[in-house]
Amino acid sequence: MVEKLITGREITCAVIERDGELAALPLVEINPAKGVYDYEAKYQRDDTVYTVAPSGFDTAAIQADTLKLAESIGVRHLARADYIVDDAGQHWLLEINTMPGFTAHSLVPQAATHAGLPMPALCAHLAELALAGHQAGPGHSDSSPSPR
Protein backbone atom coordinates (compact mmCIF):
# COMPACT_ATOMS: atom_id res chain seq x y z
CA MET A 1 0.00 0.00 0.00
CA VAL A 2 1.29 3.44 -0.89
CA GLU A 3 -0.12 6.63 0.57
CA LYS A 4 0.58 10.30 0.03
CA LEU A 5 2.75 11.75 2.82
CA ILE A 6 0.71 14.21 4.82
CA THR A 7 2.65 16.33 7.26
CA GLY A 8 1.18 18.57 9.91
CA ARG A 9 -0.17 18.56 13.41
CA GLU A 10 -1.57 15.36 14.92
CA ILE A 11 -4.87 15.63 16.73
CA THR A 12 -7.53 13.29 18.01
CA CYS A 13 -11.25 13.60 18.55
CA ALA A 14 -13.17 11.27 20.83
CA VAL A 15 -16.89 10.64 20.85
CA ILE A 16 -18.90 9.26 23.75
CA GLU A 17 -22.53 8.36 24.12
CA ARG A 18 -24.43 10.81 26.28
CA ASP A 19 -28.20 10.85 26.67
CA GLY A 20 -28.59 8.21 23.97
CA GLU A 21 -26.55 10.03 21.31
CA LEU A 22 -22.89 10.27 20.44
CA ALA A 23 -21.30 13.57 21.42
CA ALA A 24 -17.85 14.85 20.47
CA LEU A 25 -15.34 15.61 23.20
CA PRO A 26 -12.70 18.37 22.98
CA LEU A 27 -9.83 17.81 20.56
CA VAL A 28 -6.42 16.78 21.88
CA GLU A 29 -3.22 17.72 20.06
CA ILE A 30 -0.25 15.36 20.30
CA ASN A 31 3.29 16.80 20.24
CA PRO A 32 6.10 14.29 20.72
CA ALA A 33 9.30 15.94 21.96
CA LYS A 34 11.26 14.28 19.16
CA GLY A 35 10.46 12.29 16.08
CA VAL A 36 7.02 10.82 15.52
CA TYR A 37 4.32 9.71 17.93
CA ASP A 38 5.40 6.09 18.13
CA TYR A 39 5.26 3.43 20.86
CA GLU A 40 8.20 4.96 22.70
CA ALA A 41 6.73 8.49 22.63
CA LYS A 42 3.35 7.18 23.78
CA TYR A 43 4.25 4.64 26.46
CA GLN A 44 7.90 4.87 27.44
CA ARG A 45 8.79 8.55 27.51
CA ASP A 46 7.14 11.30 29.51
CA ASP A 47 8.09 14.16 27.20
CA THR A 48 5.15 14.07 24.77
CA VAL A 49 2.93 17.12 25.25
CA TYR A 50 -0.83 16.69 25.03
CA THR A 51 -2.88 19.87 24.61
CA VAL A 52 -6.60 19.58 25.25
CA ALA A 53 -8.81 22.00 23.28
CA PRO A 54 -5.91 23.39 21.21
CA SER A 55 -6.30 26.46 19.04
CA GLY A 56 -5.65 26.72 15.33
CA PHE A 57 -8.04 23.99 14.17
CA ASP A 58 -11.53 23.96 12.68
CA THR A 59 -12.75 22.13 15.75
CA ALA A 60 -16.41 22.10 14.72
CA ALA A 61 -15.62 20.50 11.34
CA ILE A 62 -13.37 17.84 12.86
CA GLN A 63 -15.94 17.01 15.53
CA ALA A 64 -18.76 16.88 12.96
CA ASP A 65 -16.74 14.59 10.67
CA THR A 66 -15.85 12.34 13.60
CA LEU A 67 -19.49 12.06 14.62
CA LYS A 68 -20.54 11.26 11.02
CA LEU A 69 -17.83 8.62 10.75
CA ALA A 70 -18.68 7.04 14.11
CA GLU A 71 -22.39 6.96 13.33
CA SER A 72 -21.82 5.55 9.83
CA ILE A 73 -19.88 2.56 11.17
CA GLY A 74 -22.25 1.96 14.08
CA VAL A 75 -20.05 3.00 16.99
CA ARG A 76 -21.63 2.35 20.38
CA HIS A 77 -20.60 4.18 23.54
CA LEU A 78 -17.06 5.32 22.67
CA ALA A 79 -14.50 5.85 19.90
CA ARG A 80 -11.50 8.02 19.07
CA ALA A 81 -10.51 9.25 15.61
CA ASP A 82 -6.98 10.40 14.84
CA TYR A 83 -6.11 13.00 12.22
CA ILE A 84 -3.24 14.93 10.68
CA VAL A 85 -4.06 18.58 10.01
CA ASP A 86 -1.93 19.92 7.16
CA ASP A 87 -0.59 23.45 6.73
CA ALA A 88 -3.71 24.43 4.73
CA GLY A 89 -5.95 23.41 7.66
CA GLN A 90 -7.33 20.27 5.95
CA HIS A 91 -7.79 17.34 8.34
CA TRP A 92 -6.90 13.86 7.12
CA LEU A 93 -8.20 10.78 8.88
CA LEU A 94 -5.53 8.35 10.07
CA GLU A 95 -7.76 5.84 11.88
CA ILE A 96 -10.73 5.37 14.14
CA ASN A 97 -10.26 3.33 17.29
CA THR A 98 -13.31 1.81 19.00
CA MET A 99 -11.26 0.42 21.91
CA PRO A 100 -9.03 3.37 22.88
CA GLY A 101 -6.64 3.11 25.79
CA PHE A 102 -7.22 4.11 29.39
CA THR A 103 -3.70 4.70 30.72
CA ALA A 104 -2.24 7.82 32.31
CA HIS A 105 -1.25 9.01 28.81
CA SER A 106 -4.49 8.06 27.07
CA LEU A 107 -6.27 10.71 25.08
CA VAL A 108 -9.95 9.90 25.68
CA PRO A 109 -9.68 10.26 29.47
CA GLN A 110 -7.86 13.59 29.01
CA ALA A 111 -10.60 14.92 26.72
CA ALA A 112 -13.38 13.57 28.94
CA THR A 113 -11.83 15.13 32.05
CA HIS A 114 -11.67 18.48 30.23
CA ALA A 115 -15.37 18.06 29.39
CA GLY A 116 -16.24 17.48 33.07
CA LEU A 117 -16.14 13.67 33.12
CA PRO A 118 -13.03 12.63 35.10
CA MET A 119 -11.66 9.09 34.80
CA PRO A 120 -13.72 7.45 37.60
CA ALA A 121 -16.94 9.00 36.27
CA LEU A 122 -15.98 8.10 32.68
CA CYS A 123 -15.42 4.45 33.63
CA ALA A 124 -18.69 4.35 35.59
CA HIS A 125 -20.55 5.94 32.66
CA LEU A 126 -19.19 3.37 30.20
CA ALA A 127 -20.01 0.50 32.56
CA GLU A 128 -23.56 1.83 32.94
CA LEU A 129 -23.96 2.02 29.14
CA ALA A 130 -22.73 -1.56 28.74
CA LEU A 131 -24.96 -2.82 31.55
CA ALA A 132 -28.01 -1.03 30.13
CA GLY A 133 -27.38 -2.67 26.75
CA HIS A 134 -26.95 -6.07 28.34
CA GLN A 135 -30.11 -5.74 30.43
CA ALA A 136 -32.10 -4.76 27.34
CA GLY A 137 -31.70 -8.36 26.17
CA PRO A 138 -31.20 -10.06 22.82
CA GLY A 139 -32.09 -8.04 19.78
CA HIS A 140 -31.39 -4.69 21.44
CA SER A 141 -28.84 -2.69 19.50
CA ASP A 142 -26.60 -2.37 22.56
CA SER A 143 -26.75 -5.99 23.68
CA SER A 144 -23.87 -8.38 23.38
CA PRO A 145 -24.40 -11.81 21.88
CA SER A 146 -25.46 -14.40 24.45
CA PRO A 147 -22.81 -17.01 25.25
CA ARG A 148 -23.63 -20.50 24.00
Residue 142: pLDDT band (50, 70, 90) is very low
Q: Does the pLDDT at position 145 exceed 90?
A: no
Q: What is the pLDDT of residue 122?
A: 94
Residue 148: pLDDT band (50, 70, 90) is very low
Residue 28 belongs to domain with CATH number: 3.30.470.20
pTM: 0.85
Q: Which of 18-22, 77-81, 84-88, 100-104 has the lowest mean pLDDT?
A: 100-104
Determine the structural domain holding residue 130 and report its residue range: 9-136
Q: Is residue 142 part of a domain?
A: no
In angstroms, the CA 21 to CA 27 distance is 18
Give the single-character DSSP code of 147.
Answer: P
Mean pLDDT confidence for 70-92: 96
Q: Is residue 30 part of a domain?
A: yes
Q: Is residue 83 part of a domain?
A: yes
Sign of CA dihedral 62, 48, 56, 89: negative
